[in-house]
């Protein structure tokens, strides 16, 4: 409770010799503060770097707007694909990717969608699944999210993007940028993978909902979708 609180150490058996000393009340917050656009090169984890985070590293940052952000980070000694999970304000957003034993991985980037952010203080947590494992993170950078890919007009991009498929770098959001030569209508064609529900994956143009990816077979591509990009929504 806020205000005065009471701790008691209770001996079970009268007459036993016992005691306590060196008592300290302190904050349990185990993390650091990130500033937008500033690289944090400290080394945090267990058995590496600060060696102060056996199962949890908490990272806080402040936002004032409603733009999508991106968090890039290098993981250390990540042995399997579900060892260290990443959470934004209590929402699961992905895992650190695996890398060589006792070395850094190739780096990860996580989308922090505006819909999951709050005005003021936000919290990212790195949660180690197994207490006692060596793990860590470094080179944390919080920045505004640019497009994941650029689409030139008339050219097919055959890369595979998503979560647990293809690039495996987009737990919630994948963005593509393009230049419009005029304000005429354009069209977007796209093939979805493992779309289980009619409203599972929504498609947005400059903040406007334009439709959903259609359902398809489990763990397979759907039949493809085409969306009109109205000239009135283009810039």
Q: Which residue has the higher pLDDT, 109 or 122?
A: 122
Q: Which residue has the higher pLDDT, 123 or 166?
A: 123
pLDDT of residue 24: 60
Interatomic CA distance for residues 94 and 117, integer angstroms: 16
Tell me the average pLDDT across 194-222: 91
Residue 217 has pLDDT above 90, yes or no: yes
Architecture label for domain 32-144: Sandwich (2.60)
What order do you get walking across the sheet with 120-128 strand by strand? 32-33, 56-63, 120-128, 84-88, 91-95
Q: Which residue has the higher pLDDT, 64 or 58?
A: 58
Tell me the average pLDDT across 131-140: 95
* Buried b / exposed e along 144-155 (16+ C-beta atoms within 10 A): ebeebeeeeeee
Q: Could you tell me the residue ranges of all domains in the chain?
A: 32-144
Tell me the average pLDDT across 48-74: 88
In angstroms, the first-to-last Cα distance of the chain is 52
In tens, the pLDDT along 147-167 reads 667 777 888 888 788 888 877
Entry pTM: 0.56
Q: Kindly state the tokens that stand for 70.
A: 């991106």
In tens, the pLDDT along 41-51 reads 999 999 998 89
């Amino acid at each position: 409770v806020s205000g005065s609180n009471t701790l008691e150490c209770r001996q079970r058996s009268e007459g036993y010799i016992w005691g306590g000393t060196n008592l300290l009340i302190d904050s349990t917050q185990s993390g650091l503060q990130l500033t937008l656009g500033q690289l944090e090169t400290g080394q945090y984890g267990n058995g590496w770097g600060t060696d102060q985070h056996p199962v949890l590293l908490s990272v806080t940052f402040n936002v004032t707007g409603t733009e999508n952000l991106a968090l890039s980070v290098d993981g250390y000694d990540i042995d399997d694909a579900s060892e260290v999970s990443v959470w934004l304000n209590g929402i699961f957003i992905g895992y650190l990717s695996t890398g060589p034993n006792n070395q850094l991985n190739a780096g990860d980037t996580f989308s922090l969608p505006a819909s999951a952010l709050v005005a003021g203080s936000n919290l990212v947590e790195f949660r180690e699944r197994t207490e006692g494992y060596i793990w860590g993170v470094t080179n944390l950078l919080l920045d505004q999210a640019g497009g994941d890919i650029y689409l030139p007009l008339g050219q097919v991009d055959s890369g595979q993007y998503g979560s647990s498929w293809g690039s495996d770098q987009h737990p919630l959001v994948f963005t593509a940028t393009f230049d419009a030569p005029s304000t005429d209508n354009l069209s977007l064609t796209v093939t979805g993978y493992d779309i289980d529900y009619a409203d599972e994956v929504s498609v947005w143009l400059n903040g406007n909902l334009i439709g959903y990816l259609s359902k398809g077979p489990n763990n397979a591509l759907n039949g493809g979708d085409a969306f009109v990009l109205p000239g009135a929504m283009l810039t």
